Every structure is written in C-alpha cells, then in structure tokens.
Amino acid sequence: MHEDIEDMMTFFNTPTDYYLFALLHADGELRSNMLGITPAHYHHAPLAEQWYHHVRHLVAFTKRDVRVAALKRLESLYQKMAK
C-alpha cells in the first residue's frame, strides 16, 4: 500500500470504516489505491479472490446502514477482476 494511503488510515476509527469509505466515496485510481487493487488482481484470479474475501470479511458484518451498498460495490469490483 502506498505510504500516503497508509497515512489516510489514521483518520478512520477502524479498518472497516476505512474500507467502507473507499468503497462508497472514492472512485477510480484513488479507490484502487485505497483498496490495494493492482493490475495483478485483474490477471491472477487467486489474488483477486483472496483480496475479495479479505475486504468482504471486513465489511460484511458491520451494523452500519451502508453495508449493503458497500457489498454491492465490492461485488461489482470483484466481478470486473474475475472476467
């Protein structure tokens, strides 16, 4: 993860909050950087699957009302990788 992105994590109470923000409020390259997505995720299915399960584990059990929207966005990103 890029050093500036790691510094951003200090602004969030939990890693879940960080990932929810990245999924729902960031776009494009910033979102990819925040989520740790690299071109390799689009070429190596096992890497994409590992990333997906890691992020899903962090956001799936949150009690926040944005959980469903975050999981939909996560699924959309993963489907693009899995093609």
Summarize pLDDT for 31-82 with one digit per residue, the tens. Answer: 999 999 999 999 999 999 999 999 999 999 888 889 999 999 999 999 999 7
- Confidence check: pLDDT of 11 > 70: yes
| pTM for this prediction | 0.86
pLDDT higher than 70, residue 9: yes
The pLDDT, as a whole number, for residue 28 is 94
Give the per-residue pLDDT at 8. 73
pLDDT band at residue 2 using 50, 70 and 90 as cut-offs? low
Residue listed under structure tokens 């693009």: 80
Q: ∠ at Cα 67 (66, 72), nearest 5°?
A: 100
